[in-house]
Structure 1
Amino acid sequence: MKQELKYLVLHCTATPEGRDVSAAEIRRWHTSPVSAGGRGWKQVGYTDLVHLNGSVERLVANNEDAWVDPWEITNGAKGYNSISRHIVYAGGVAADGKTPKDTRTAAQKAALEKYVKDFHTAHPKVKIIGHNQVAAKACPSFDVSAWLREIGINQ
């Protein structure tokens, strides 16, 4: 049963600064069996991935409407998946691989801004949040509310 879209959740891959991530790698992390080092999920955690160069790659098909159909559900934020879409940028931790850090490149910032503005225009009632606003995590390693104000989105 489809549900009304209520959130766009922003994420980071929690990979070191400057390291790009492939769709295949994310699929492996999320859908491989736990015994093989994955999470054992049926679906990846994100609808779209923003690469270091600013290109946006679709990971899970969706019809772009204001509903989350069962085939569109991703596993980005426990308890929110059936009412959310999730976008992730490659990065989010310092070179040490542990310390949360806003590592978005200029190209990623521009791509994420365009994506979020386009999304907000299409779905003005949907709340845009960081993963850390619904889970005890640093992800996406920047203050989404402050950033939204900077780019002119007041919600």
Structure 2
Amino acid sequence: MMIMAKLKYLVIHCTATPEGREVSSADIRKWHTSPVAQGGRGWKQVGYTDLFHLNGGVERLVENNEDAQVDPWEVTNGAKGYNSVSRHIVYAGGVEKDGKTPKDTRTGCQKKALEKYVKDFHRKFPDVRIIGHNELAAKACPSFDVQEWLKEIGINQ
């Protein structure tokens, strides 16, 4: 039986989809939970708790009771080795139109929604470290410098 763990990280991701292309929760579910033979990752659960749409809408992908513990049913597969102590969130985008080159493609609406979410989160959980996926893994994701952005929006951690 999995035991709940103290929440240590809020990890920001991008979907690594081309600039301007919307992503649905169904897309993410398919990418993450479809069998590997069908082009998915074969995971039991999606990788993120919340998805930030191009229009700034925030969609809950995995239920969460909003406390400082990561319950077994809240665990998402965002970063290997860190999932039991992290909440993962994702914005639609993160690469150039070529579909390969990392780029901060956050729309104005996504930036506003992300800022509000992160500030609210930080107020509730000041001890939880907010980081980019690239701070845990050798990846470009989320295609922007999270620590720099946090300073810009007035979060010092």
Report the TM-score when normalising by structure 1: 1.00
What is the distance in 2 between the residues matched to 1:109 and 1:20?
Answer: 15
Moved over 2 A (4+): none
Post-superposition Cα deviations, 1:105-144, rounded to whole Å, max 9, x if no partner, equal: 0000000000000000000000000000000000000000
Counterparts of 1:1-155 in structure 2 under 5 Å?
Answer: 1-155=3-157
Give me the CA root mean square deviation: 0.2
Question: 1:26: how far off?
Answer: 0.1
Query: What residue identity is the alignment partner of 2:131?
Result: I
- Uncovered stretches (5+) of structure 1, i.e. residues with no partner: none
Q: Helix, strand or coil for the counterpart of 1:24?
A: helix
| Identity over aligned pairs, percent | 79
- Uncovered stretches (5+) of structure 2, i.e. residues with no partner: none
Report the TM-score when normalising by structure 2: 0.98
**Residue correspondences, number:** 155
What is the distance in 2 between the residues matched to 1:144 and 1:79?
Answer: 20
What is the distance in 1 between the residues matched to 2:107 and 2:128?
Answer: 26
What is the distance in 1 between the residues matched to 2:37 and 2:89?
Answer: 27
Q: Helix, strand or coil for the counterpart of 1:120?
A: helix
Post-superposition Cα deviations, 1:14-50, rounded to whole Å, max 9, x if no partner, equal: 0000001000000000000000000000000000000
Query: What residue identity is the alignment partner of 2:138?
Result: A
What is the distance in 1 between the residues matched to 2:82 and 2:155?
Answer: 22
Q: Helix, strand or coil for the counterpart of 1:88?
A: strand
Query: What residue identity is the alignment partner of 2:63?
Result: A
Question: 1:4: how far off?
Answer: 0.1
What is the distance in 2 between the residues matched to 1:119 and 1:151?
Answer: 13
Question: 1:69: how far off?
Answer: 0.2
